[in-house]
Amino acid sequence: MSQERNGVITMKGNPKTLVGPALKAGDAAPDFEVINQTLETITLASSKGKVRLIAAVPSLDTPVCAIETKKFGQEIAKLPPNVQFYTISADLPFAQKRWCGAEQVQVTTLSDHRKLSFAQNYGILIKDLRIHARAIFVIDANDKITYVQIVPEIAQEPDYDKAIQATKQAAGAK
């Protein structure tokens, strides 16, 4: 039975229940199985040896998620080449591809709609909605989590500066 956590996040002020572990910096990054826009399976090992900056969002078709994905999309070009950026949501891969094309955003989007394995393994599955909480994870090249931010109110943006700084630090850049 999966662990349930209350009081971690709210949606428009209403508390939501998260399913999965409360991960923290120093923990081993759990594996996951998601799909990309061409329906290929992607796992943690797919980017082995790279630093991963993962932005989990509820849905790209919402204003805050769109703003967040665009902001990170602008920042990834400034990151070291050993960094892989992913935006993960429970949106269908076709919807993700449509959104990226319509918004002219070039980021790697991954869909967790099939198994919700990322959401469950990383403790950010919103139980009653079957979507992701807004969260940032930085995973180093050795598959250790070095930074976690679960945004307390789903309608708020994450702390971009801290996420980028943590990514640069994990990548050995200043």
**Residue 47 pLDDT greater than 90, yes or no:** yes
Mean pLDDT, the chain, as a whole number?
Answer: 95
pLDDT of residue 1: 52
Average pLDDT over every residue of 50-76: 95
* Class of the domain covering 4-170: alpha beta
**Contact yes or no for 111/39 (Cβ under 8 A):** no
| C-alpha dist (Å) from residue 116 to 89, 123, 164, 168 | 9, 11, 26, 28
pLDDT of residue 173: 75
pTM of the model: 0.95
User: Which are the catalytic amino acids?
Assistant: 65
- Pick from 81, 90, 26: nearest CA to 56: 90
| Domain range annotation of the chain | 4-170
pLDDT of residue 2: 76
46 pLDDT tier (thresholds 50, 70, 90): very high
The rounded distance, in Å, linking the Cα atoms of 143 and 44 is 8
**Contact yes or no for 86/108 (Cβ under 8 A):** yes
pLDDT of residue 77: 84
Give 77-104 pLDDT, tens digit per residue.
Answer: 889 999 999 999 999 999 999 999 999 9
Give 117-154 pLDDT, tens digit per residue.
Answer: 999 999 999 999 999 999 999 999 999 999 999 999 99
The rounded distance, in Å, linking the Cα atoms of 137 and 92 is 21
Which residues lie below 8 Å from residue 168, measured CB to CB, with a gap of 6+?
79, 80, 174
Tell me which H or E stretch contains 43. Answer: strand 41-43
**Residue 168 pLDDT greater than 90, yes or no:** yes
Average pLDDT over every residue of 34-41: 96
